[in-house]
Structure 1
Amino acid sequence: MAEEIENIGFELTDELLIKVEQLIALKKDKELQKLLRDFHHADIAEILDELDLEEAIYVIKLLDSETTADILMELDEDNREKVLRNLSSKEIADEIGELDTDDAADIISELPEDRQHEVISHIEDEEHKAEIKELLTYHEDTAGGLMAKELVKVYDTWTVAGCLRRIRGQAKEVTRVHSIYVVDKQNRLIGRLSLKDLIVAKSDQKIEDIYISSVDSVNVHDDAEDVARVMQKYDLEAIPVVDNNQKLLGRITIDDIVDVMKEEAEKDYQLAAGITSDVEADDSIWELTKARLPWLLIGMFGGIGAASIINGFSDAMLKFPALLMFIPLIQATAGNVGVQSSAIVVQGLANDTIDGSLFKRLLKEFALGLVNGLAIALIVLLISHFAFHTTYLESLTICIALISVIIMAAIIGTFIPIFLDKRGIDAAVATGPFITTSNDIFGILLYFLIAKAILGF
């Protein structure tokens, strides 16, 4: 237990990094092995991410395959790609031989196609090789692309005594036994087995008499996000994967789902920020430009549109200069309200908690916008009158415009994500620049139309 606490509290210090670099430079292999022996593989990966490529490869070749296989899975993707590029196909195959099939397939899928075949040909365990090749046939964003072949299954015709003997053999190949699955002679999933029921049952009892027929499962072609929602909803640590004929193919564990949720959250965050593809801070300027520029151009055209509307009312602003002062307030308020509304809806869509009719949701946003608009308008009314000395009609114009703009932005921010989701488009694109730009334009237009109606220009 003490060792686990120490691992959780790991902190990469400059002193540790310098010591590792010195041991590598002096080729003090035994001291280096002793130093790293007590570290968790994720901590060693963190160290290697900070070393240069030659030093990282030196450590990987120094440590045993069982350890370095786990380290490879924890390395930063870019660093892992560089390391794999500098290992031979045989060396990669040796590392992969120590991994579960899902992790092994993930690493191989990152290699060029011709190299994939070379690495697979060097895998000595024929069963392991066949299972990895099967997993590579599934799309990475499906249940098949996430699942591992390692699991514990029993047949309903086995006795309890025979079942226990066979479970011991199967469990050696499984890192964690989350569940025991029950299948029939055709390998169709028919239930799960409680460890407690197995232990207390008589030795000669059949599994068919004690198994639990209720079991959650996902289809091998289900989307990874749908699998994540199911596991999150039912608090599952693992879930079996079946084909269209209900045959048991593998299982997905919670650690893989956490990765899916993390990747989806990062993607949605970038979309909301106006970044169209998955990029990282260390990517090239060209890659970052391609990801950012499209939304910046949309924002530019939106700004030009707002400027055109303002230019169309230039004569009115000469007559009522106070209108010009409050344009930034109108734009900022519209953008902020729209982003707030869309963010809540996008989150609800992601968590599958959006229910009820669209009309009721829009009506609720209308009421919410009205309450918020009245509160903000009252504050602005006092400030504009006493600080900027606006006339009664100008103050009335600004307040009514604010209330109207807030209601409009709330409705747009709610409607667009739901509209996009129903058409199979990621609703996260509705937040950020898209909503801000559209609400800027409509907000300014509504502002001047209300001003024209009240002030009569």
Structure 2
Amino acid sequence: MQFQITQELIDNVELLIEEKNDAQLKHLLDEIHFADLAEIVDELNLYEATYLIKLLDSEKTSETLMELEEDVRERILDKLSAKEIAEELEEMDTDDAADIISELPEDRVENVIAQIEDNQHADNIVELLAYGEDTAGGLMAKELVRVKETWTVAGCVREMRRQAENVTRVHSIYVIDKEGKLKGRLSLKDLLTASTKTHISEVYIPKVDYVTVDTEGDEVARIMQKYDLEAIPVIDNNGVLVGRITIDDIVDYIKEEAEKDYQMAAGISQDVEADDSIWQLTRARLPWLILGLLGGLGSVFIMESFEEIMVNPAYRTLFFYTPLIAAMAGNVGVQSSAIIVQGLANNNVKGSILQRLLKEIGLSLINGLALAAIIIIFGLIMGQEFTFSITIALALMSVIIVAALVGTFVPIILDKRGIDPAIATGPFITTSNDIFGIFLFFYIAKMMLGF
């Protein structure tokens, strides 16, 4: 049965903390999984959460800290001494420890690293901090099992036992040469069935997927997804094996990137949470709102240049279709851009620009004809002049085609220039297509109706 956090449990934990009944508190939480413990910590105030982290063994609390939201974790770490943080880091894999270090204020980083007793662990963390956050080097962990091609099977097994003590999960066994360069991978089945005197060079598999320390996180995710990899080795520019990226790390990366893209598509320019300060939320939202305002003002000037529509009673009906045209332009643009952005992220946007152009025009014509037919039928039911209905239908088709093209090519152009195409969705596309849509609507109406 899945563990459930109850108010009774939270109340009990708070009471034991208040009474400083450490023995009973440890007994209560001893069998609780670190992920469930993180949920409990989330329900406590800062003093209670810090008390719990300090009380329990670092073997469990280090995992618990990694499960917490970043802002919650930062507040707790702020209450811990450099020595206490170092004790937590010593229980973590190097990639997680590097993530924690990167969240600390600069003036604390050196003190914390100096308190780590395992010098090799400390050096590995410092090495990881030198890589870009969204590169394979920044995502990898140093813990892995590596064997040399010159070893015998018997010697390999002995060395694997020693190395595995520092590795949480052994996904793969990597084979290196005497210079540390990646040569291939070792099948556990081949290792178990081979003679103890057989050399690893005779049984290892030379074909192995890998990435370099400079490979972008998105590309790492694409390779691991394509080949269904649980882990992938990372090499430096000289081919030396320096680390590995596991599936849980890349899933976390994909989740974070998806959240960023979702917020960007919604017009939020920074990574924020619901409980962030008003100032942080304002800074994240205001730039896109200003863009929307400028777009709206642009629409005002366009409509003002066609003011005869509102003055002349014969054409005033067109004015009431303005929101419909703007909404359809925005919707079509967002649909097109969302598909392209997703395709770019998955590396599924194939073919030439011309092929994409022809496909979008064809799709837009089909959608436009269907929606235009609905407009004409609506006009007939409402007793609207047929010329008006045809004008609105033609304008709607034109707007849909232009909006689809804008929604398609803006993300592609941004991607080619090295800019995150996710900014093309949401307010950016909606605002630009609102302006194009209203202009096209009134311009086509002016040509068709001759005002």
2: distance between equivalents of 1:395 and 1:133?
68
Partner of residue 320 from structure 1, selected from 315, 318, 322: 315
SS at match of 1:240: strand
- Deviation digits for residues 315-352 of structure 1 (CA, Å, limit 9, x no counterpart): 13323111011111101111000000000000000011
Which residue matches 1:3? none
- Alignment of structure 1 residues 243-254 onto 2, 5 Å: 243-254=236-247
Question: Which residue type is aligned with residue 402 of structure 1?
Answer: L
Please, which of 124, 133, 139 is the counterpart of residue 126 of structure 2? 133
**Aligned counterpart for 1:239 among listed residues 232, 242, 249:** 232
Q: How far off its partner does 1:228 sit?
A: 1.4
Q: 1: CA distance between counterparts of 2:133 and 2:420? A: 18
Of 437, 440, 444, 1:446 maps to: 440
Q: Which runs of 5+ in 2 are unaligned?
A: none
2:355 is matched with which residue?
Answer: 360
| Identical-pair percentage | 62
Give the AA of the match of 2:348.
T
1:205-216 matched pairs, under 5 angstroms:
205-216=198-209
Contact 2:379 2:386 in 1 (8 A): no
Distance between the aligned counterparts of 1:16 and 1:366, measured in 2?
60
Residue identity matched to 1:341: S
**Residues 262-341 of structure 1: matches in 2 within 5 Å?**
262-317=255-310, 318=312, 319-341=314-336
8 Å contact kept, 1:65–1:98: yes
Residue 66 of structure 1 deviates from its aligned partner by: 0.7
Secondary structure (helix, strand or coil) at the match of 2:418 reads: coil
Aligned partners of 2:309 and 2:319 also within 8 Å: no
Question: 2:395: which partner in 1?
Answer: 401
What code does the residue aligned with 1:166 have?
E
More deviation, 33-42/173-182: 33-42
Given that 1:322 and 1:390 are in contact with CA atoms closer than 8 Å, whether structure 2 keeps it comes out as no
What is the SS of the residue equivalent to 1:182? strand
Q: How far apart in 2 are the matches of 1:105 and 1:301? A: 42
**What is the CA-CA distance between 1:232 and the residue it aligns to?**
1.4
Instruction: State the partner residue of 1:176.
Output: 169
Tell me if the contact between 1:378 and 1:399 (Cα under 8 Å) persists in the aligned partners: yes
* Inter-partner Cα distance in structure 1 for 2:132 and 2:363: 43
Distance in 2 between residues matched to 1:312 and 1:222, nearest whole Å? 51
1:153 is paired with a residue whose SS is: strand
**Number of the residue aligned with 1:91:** 84
Deviations 1:68-111 (A, max 9, x none): 11111111111111111111111111111111111111111211
Return the alpha-carbon distance in structure 2 between the equivalents of residues 121 and 433 of structure 1.
47
Letter aligned with residue 189 of structure 1 = L
Partners of 2:171 and 2:231 within 8 A in 1:
yes
Give the distance between the partners of 1:61 and 1:447, measured in 2 at CA. Answer: 66
Q: In structure 1, how many angstroms separate the alpha carbons of the residues matched to 2:6 and 2:421?
A: 41
Corresponding position: 1:36 with 2:26 = no
Cα drift, residue 260 of structure 1: 0.9
Aligned pair count?
449
Provide the secondary structure at the position in 2 that maps to 1:372: helix
Whether the 8 Å CA contact 1:154–1:180 is kept in 2: the answer is: yes
- Partner of 1:416 in structure 2? 410
Q: State whether structure 2 residue 428 is matched by structure 1 residue 434.
A: yes
Partner SS, residue 130 of structure 1: helix
Pick the aligned partner of 2:366 from 348, 371, 385: 371
Give the C-alpha shift of residue 230 in structure 1: 1.4
* Structure 1 SS opposite 2:112: helix
Once residues 324 and 257 of structure 1 are traced to their aligned partners in structure 2, the CA distance between those partners, rounded to angstroms, is 51
Q: After the TM superposition, which residues 8-23 of structure 1 pair with which residues of structure 2 at under 5 Å, given as runs?
A: 9-23=2-16
Cα deviation, residue 56, structure 1: 0.5
Gaps of 5+ in 1: 1-5
2-structure distance, mates of 1:82, 1:287: 17
Checking the alignment, whether the CA contact within 8 Å between 1:158 and 1:206 is kept in structure 2 is: yes
Q: Secondary structure at the match of 1:236?
A: coil
Q: Name which of 49, 54, 61 aligns with 1:68.
A: 61
